[in-house]
């Protein structure tokens, strides 16, 4: 596994070691011992989630306030542009974002620790997205920041307005969001 720091402290790009030949491929998608050794993260994962989306669907920017979640995300079909936004008020990168392309082809993963909002947009005709979380989903605690907030100025690699859920279309401005101390 190769761990590459991103421009945001504690958000890590993870590239697994893939063994492939003319039959296909094999890789360890998660190994708790190696994850802890290479990242220094000692959180336990309590829930796995799986979503499928068609081209242009944008999910996010989501986070939970009281029950903050760390997320380990990856794509098993298609391609997405995945974004993390630092909501930690005392962080030197507070209010900044990082985006990476995750795909079934590159098999990269992204570790997004507690204290970040998360979202992605589907770039391929269809994408299946898997993510492990360090806390359970608490719908009453979920928050959403507007995907196109001008303060954040996220450079989503899309040419048209994305398809949003009703919840995501009502996301709040970054300035009105609740942050982490």
Active site residues: 62, 131
Structure tokens at 130: 């898997």
99-121 core/surface letters (b: 16 or more CB in 10 A; e: else): bbebbeeebbbbbbbbbbbbbbb
Q: Residue 2: which residues within 8 A CB-CB, separation 6 or more? A: 14, 15, 17
Q: What is the Cα 39 distance to its own chain's centre?
A: 16
Reduced to 3 states (helix: H, G, I; strand: E, B; else coil), residue 156 is coil
Phi, psi of 176 (to 5 degrees): -100, 0
Q: Are 74 and 35 in contact (CB under 8 A)?
A: no
């Amino acid at each position: 596994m190769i761990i590459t720091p991103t421009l945001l402290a504690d958000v890590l790009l993870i590239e697994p070691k893939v063994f492939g030949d003319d039959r296909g491929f094999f890789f360890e998608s998660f190994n708790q011992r190696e994850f802890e050794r290479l990242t220094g993260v000692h959180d336990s994962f309590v829930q796995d989630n799986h979503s499928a989306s068609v081209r242009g669907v944008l999910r996010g920017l989501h986070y939970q306030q009281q029950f903050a979640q760390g997320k380990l995300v990856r794509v098993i079909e298609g391609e997405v542009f995945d974004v993390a936004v630092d909501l930690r008020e005392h962080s030197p990168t507070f209010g900044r974002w990082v985006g990476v392309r995750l795909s079934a082809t590159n098999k990269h993963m992204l570790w997004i620790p507690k204290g970040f909002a998360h979202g992605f947009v589907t770039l391929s005709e269809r994408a299946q997205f898997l993510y492990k979380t360090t806390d359970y989903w608490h719908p009453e605690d979920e928050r959403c920041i507007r995907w196109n907030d001008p303060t954040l100025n996220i450079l989503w690699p899309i040419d048209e307005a994305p398809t949003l859920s009703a919840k995501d279309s009502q996301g709040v401005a970054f300035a009105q969001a609740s942050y982490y101390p």
